[in-house]
Amino acid sequence: MSIETREASNKTVTIWFKRVTGFGNEKTTTYDVVTTKACYEQGGSRQYTDTTGVNFTPQSTFWLEVLSENPRLGDFIALGDQSLIAKPSDAEKAESIRIVALQDCSELGDVDDLKVIT
């Protein structure tokens, strides 16, 4: 994590990593839950295009350190420590992740931060 992001990361966030096992009608969805520190911005005016080609305005943007497993499209993220909640649908204001990008917040050329957009 860049020093800039580390010093500004004052929000605890919860990430639900989606896991799908089985085949056909036997598919089961579970979630691995982790918490970390992040910077947070609600809303935004810039338009983005997700991987399916849909234009959208973000609900939220999070900047956090590169993790041992990074969030992906379809995982969920929410403010606060909600690690005791097994499913994002039961969490308070969990948002589906639409874009994850590596970003250098330090402007030193070392890409060590994640930008997560919902």
Nearest Cα to Cα of residue 13 among 41, 31, 38: 38
- In tens, the pLDDT along 11-47 reads 999 999 999 998 888 999 999 999 999 988 898 777 7
Domain ranges of the chain: 3-117
Share of the chain above pLDDT 70, in %: 86
Residues 6+ apart with CB under 8 A from 73: 50, 51, 97, 98, 99, 100
Residue 53 has pLDDT above 90, yes or no: no
Task: Say if residues 14 and 82 touch (Cβ distance below 8 Å).
Answer: yes
Half-sphere CA count of 43, side-chain side, radius 13 A: 1
Cα–Cα distance for residue pair 73/36, rounded to 1 Å:
18
Alpha-carbon Rg of the chain, whole angstroms?
15
More confident residue, 26 or 51: 26
Residue 75: its pLDDT value, please?
A: 97
